[in-house]
Amino acid sequence: MPEVSRVVDAPPEAVFAVLADGWLYSGWVVGSSHIRDVDEDWPAAGSRIHHSVGPWPLHIQDVTVVKAMEPGTFLSLEARGWPLGVAEVGLTLTPQGSGRTRIRMTERVVRGPGKVLPDAVQAILAKPRNDEALARLADLATGKYANRKRAQS
C-alpha cells in the first residue's frame, strides 16, 4: 500500500486536533477545494465531510467518510472523488519524543478507474500529492500548537 510519513514539531494531540476539525480538511487535503458541510459528530465512525474536489467550476461534489478512529492515534477515511474513484486513507500518529509526532499516511484506491492501476503505479502517482498533504497538515498542526503555547504563556 502506498505510504508517506513525516515527523512534525507538535504532539499527537495537536495533530489530531487538526484532523478532528473537519472544516480544516481542504486546508491540508490536496485536491479538496471547498467544504460544504461537516457532520456534527466528526470524526466519529460513519461521520462525513461534504466537500468539492477539483478546481472551480469543474469541481465535483462528494464526501469523505470516517471508517475508524482512535482519538490522538489513528484516523481511517474513505475519500471519494468521482469519477476518479474511492480511496482508503489511513493516518497514524506516533509520538517521537517530547512534543513531536510521526504522521504516517497510507492510501489505496479501492473503487473506480484508479483501482486497475498496480500498487506501484498508485504509489508513484500518490506520493507527491500525499507528501504535500502531510506538509500542509504539519504546518496547520505546528501553527495551532505554537499559538496555543503562546496563549498559555
- Show pLDDT as tens, one digit a residue, over the chain (153 residues): 679 999 999 999 999 999 999 999 999 999 888 999 999 999 999 999 999 888 778 888 889 999 999 999 999 999 987 667 899 999 999 999 889 999 999 998 899 888 888 888 888 888 999 999 999 999 999 998 777 766 777
Give the pairing of strands 48-53 and 60-70: antiparallel
CATH no. of 3-152: 3.30.530.20
Residue spans per domain, the chain: 3-152
pLDDT the model gives residue 82: 66
What separation, in Å, do the N-terminal and C-terminal C-alpha atoms of the chain show? 43
Q: For residues 68 and 47, is the Cβ–Cβ distance under 8 A? A: no
CA torsion through residues 8, 80, 90, 149, sign: positive
pLDDT the model gives residue 122: 82
pLDDT the model gives residue 65: 98
Cα–Cα distance between 56 and 73 in angstroms, integer? 34
pLDDT the model gives residue 84: 72
pLDDT the model gives residue 150: 67
